[in-house]
Chains A and B, each alone.
Chain A
Amino acid sequence: MLRYVIGRVAQALVVLWAAYTVTFVVLYLLPSDPLALMLAANNVQLDSLSPDQIAAARARFGLDQPVHLQYLHLLVRALHGDLGTSLASHEPVRQLLASRLPPTLVLSLVAVVLALVGGVVLAFLAAYVQWRPATLLLTRLPSLGVSLPTFWVGLLLIQVFAFTLHWVPATGNLGWRSDVLPAVTLAIPTSASLAQVLTRSLRDTLHEPYITTARAKGLSRFQVQLRHASRNAALPTLTILGLLVGATVTGTVTVETVFSRTGIGRLAAESVLGQDVPVVQGIVVLTAVAFVLVNLVVDLIYPLIDPRVVHAPKVV
């Protein structure tokens, strides 16, 4: 067991390092001229500078060094918790992220809980209900959920529940009432994909012989599905939990823009518009951290639900 835990933690750290490296490659090596990009964030045109000024700017951003030194420098700095300074606001990226994180964290948490509840209930009903039209509706509903653009769903909800029914405020983040619509918007696609996976695995599990045995003992379908099938059927769902969190966090980029909220997602959208490289990198790394943490937690609780994984040979 200890070996399993250590292995998973080490793996998580490697993934984090690699994610940082990938963002470095994309943001610092992909642009034809990183300096132009960084100056553009400050509304300075590269051609308007004299060669001396260009050299000075290059030195200031550390771009005069060879690529591997730049990379090492940034990596060491990031390991010390310093993610650089925003090109647009000149605030340290870490501070900027920390100030924008709480509303996004609350929103994402609520959305993930909503998605879990919604997805599980939907899948459970889809497997339980036997009236054909209802089953069809319940199994088709998730594909609608994953097909609609999130930002459009948000606008639709605003139109219906804020402008027409006046139940909740349309935009901003003031109080829990303003969290309702964005959380629901975020939860719709994730609960839909969760329901798709869970419905399928429930259906497969219900064909197992041990289910027949349980039914033959005289247990009701409801009991069997709740007690016997759900635990095994939940396994594939657990593995996509990390993906769901990732989808929720990326969802905040559009949703926070639609609902004019402050948060990491909105910050991401603004930073990309302003080509604020350090902030974009910080956000991508932060998301990778969230993703890796969730996956680590899933990996660690997985053996509690399915003890077989600890002893199973490594699956490549």
Chain B
Amino acid sequence: MTLDVSPLARVAPPAAPEAVPAGLLTFGEDEPSPRGQRLRALLRRPGFVLALAFVVLVIVSALVPRFFTTYDPYATAPAARLTPPGAAHWFGTDELGRDLYTRVVFGSTLTIEAALSAIVIALVAGLTLGVVSGFFGGWLDAVLMRVVDVSLAVPGLLMALAVVTALGFGTLPVAIAVGIGIVPGFARTTRAEVLRVKTLPYIEAARAGGATRRRILLRHVLPNAWGPVAVLAVLDFGVAILSVAALSFLGFGAAPPAAEWGTLIARGRDYLVTAPWVSLLPGLFVGLVVLSLNHVARTLEEVR
């Protein structure tokens, strides 16, 4: 992943027109703001719009699952057990006759919540570490970056397993565990960006103008450094969903009958021969969500 994506285009002073990305611009009529141009360039990509719409839809369904289905996720119907996908049950039914599509929609509440909390934890910790490290430098930077290096030596999911062992099972421990696993990446990216922004002339100008360190950091460095971090956050949101799903697949997530996406797939394992849709369709859904997130992140990276 290239981490050198700069939001320069957005903040470029009007005196430097060459900083504006060429090629994707529409010339003529009234002059659109750089931000508007970027948005327009993004919206002209049907794949991006589609992926973004899907992600937004999934997040909304996680917030208000009731709006997206008429079934009850826990209502069993023994007569209709293991019904194949059809008009009545879009994803079919599971071993207790529960509507699988409804279970997936309600499962998104838990999974998306866990993944979002993981990202928030990672963002807060990673941004703080990266900014402190990059902005203040010196021995603090050296120490913090060595710590980050070491945490990178333990793969994220394994670190998450250790944290889950220590904290116990459930949605929140899983979220914390996954969050801790992705902090190092955020810290590194933020630090690199802060280091880059720190040397730009306008920071020097702000300093010469008598701005305090805190003001420079909060008003000048941070707003211009967080672009790539935001892209990474979108990308890692997908990674977090996969990790949360993996951990709940292994049985460390919410207790039944509540179902996270991973739990749904795990339960369907036993019926793979007779009713493959029980685990394959929810899994496909997870894959689509993560793919959409990846696509959104990649397009954001490409269109500056």
Chain A interface (Cβ < 8 Å from any Cβ of B): 15-16, 18-19, 22-23, 26-27, 30-31, 37, 143-144, 146-152, 155-156, 158-159, 163, 196, 200, 246-247, 249-250, 253-254, 257-258, 268-269, 271-273, 275-277, 280-281, 283-284, 287-288, 291-292, 295, 316
Q: With an 8 A cutoff between CB atoms, is B91 at the interface?
A: no
Pick the residue among B251, B272, B286 that contacts A149 (CB under 8 A): B286
Q: Mark interface residues in B257-300 (1 if CB within 8 Å of A CB, else 0).
A: 00000100110110011001001100110111011011100100
**Which of B65-73, B120-128, B145-153 lies at the interface?**
B145-153
Contact call A163/B166, Cβ cutoff below 8 A: no
Report the separation of the CA atoms of residues A269 and B284 in the bound assembly, to the nearest whole angstrom.
Answer: 23
Do A250 and B273 touch across chains, with their CB atoms under 8 A apart?
no
How close is A73's CB to chain B, nearest CB, in angstroms? 19
B residues in contact with A273, CB < 8 Å: 250-252
Of the candidates A22, A27, A287, which one forms a contact with B165 in the assembled complex, judged by CB atoms under 8 Å apart? A27
- B287 close to A271 (CB less than 8 A): no
- Name the B residues within 8 Å of A271 (CB-CB): 165
The answer to whether the Cβ of B245 comes within 8 Å of any Cβ in the partner chain is yes
B160-219, CB < 8 A from A:
161-168
Can you list 29 pairs linking A and B with CB atoms under 8 Å apart? A15-B149, A26-B163, A30-B167, A31-B167, A37-B165, A144-B291, A147-B242, A148-B290, A148-B291, A149-B245, A150-B242, A151-B245, A152-B279, A155-B283, A159-B276, A247-B155, A250-B156, A253-B161, A253-B250, A254-B246, A271-B165, A275-B168, A276-B165, A277-B166, A280-B165, A283-B158, A287-B155, A291-B154, A316-B145
Nearest CB of A to B237, in Å: 12
Q: Which of A147, A250, A275 contacts B158 (CB 8 A)?
A: A250
* B252, closest chain A residue (CB): A272
Is B249 an interface position by the 8 A CB rule? yes
- Closest Cβ of chain B to A35, distance in Å, is 13
In the complex, are the beta carbons of A18 and B146 less than 8 A apart?
Answer: yes
Contact assessment for A146 and B294 in the assembled complex, using a CB-CB cutoff below 8 Å: yes
Interfacial chain B residues near A272, Cβ < 8 Å: 161, 164-165, 250, 252
Which chain B residues border A30 with CB–CB below 8 Å?
Answer: 163, 166-167
In contact, B166 and A31 (Cβ under 8 angstroms):
yes
Kindly identify which residue among A31, A149, A281 contacts B246, using a CB–CB cutoff of 8 Å. A149
B245: which A residues are within 8 A, CB to CB?
149, 151
A19 and B153 contact, CB distance less than 8 A? yes
A22-B150, A146-B294, A291-B153 as given contacts; A155 in contact with B162, CB under 8 Å: no
- Kindly state the separation between the CA atoms of A144 and B294 in the bound complex, as whole angstroms: 9
B166 adjacent to A27 (CB under 8 Å): yes
Chain A residues near B92: list those with CB within 8 A: none
Rounded to whole angstroms, the CA-CA distance of A247 and B239 in the bound complex is 12
CB distance from A173 to the nearest CB of B (A): 18
CA–CA, A214 to B97, complex, Å? 66
**Most A CB atoms within 10 A — which of B161, B266, B287?**
B161
A149–B242 contact, CB under 8 A?
yes
A residues in contact with B265, CB < 8 Å: 149, 151-152, 155
**Could you say which residues of chain A place their CB within 8 Å of the CB of B246?**
149-151, 253-254
- Minimum CB–CB distance from B295 to chain A (whole Å) comes to 7
Bound Cα distance from A246 to B161, whole angstroms: 14
Partner of B249, one of A26, A147, A151, A283: A151
Q: Are the CB atoms of A155 and B158 closer together than 8 Å?
A: no
Cross-chain contact A152 with B280 (CB below 8 angstroms) = yes
- Quick one: closest B residue to A21, CB to CB? B150
Known: A149-B283, A253-B161, A280-B162. A155 touches B269 (CB 8 A): yes
Q: Which residues of B contact A283 (CB under 8 A)?
A: 158
Tell me whether B62 is interfacial, beta carbon within 8 Å: no
Q: Which residues of A contact B150 (CB under 8 A)?
A: 15, 18-19, 22
Task: For the complex, give the distance between the alpha carbons of A19 and B154 in Å.
Answer: 7
Interface membership of B33, Cβ < 8 A? no
User: For residue B251, which residue of chain A has the nearest CB?
Assistant: A273
Inter-chain contacts of B107 with A (CB < 8 A): none
| B157 and A253 contact, CB distance less than 8 A | yes
When distances are taken between beta carbons in the complex, the residues of chain A under 8 Å from B153 are 15-16, 18-19, 288, 291-292, 295
User: Do A284 and B252 touch across chains, with their CB atoms under 8 A apart?
Assistant: no
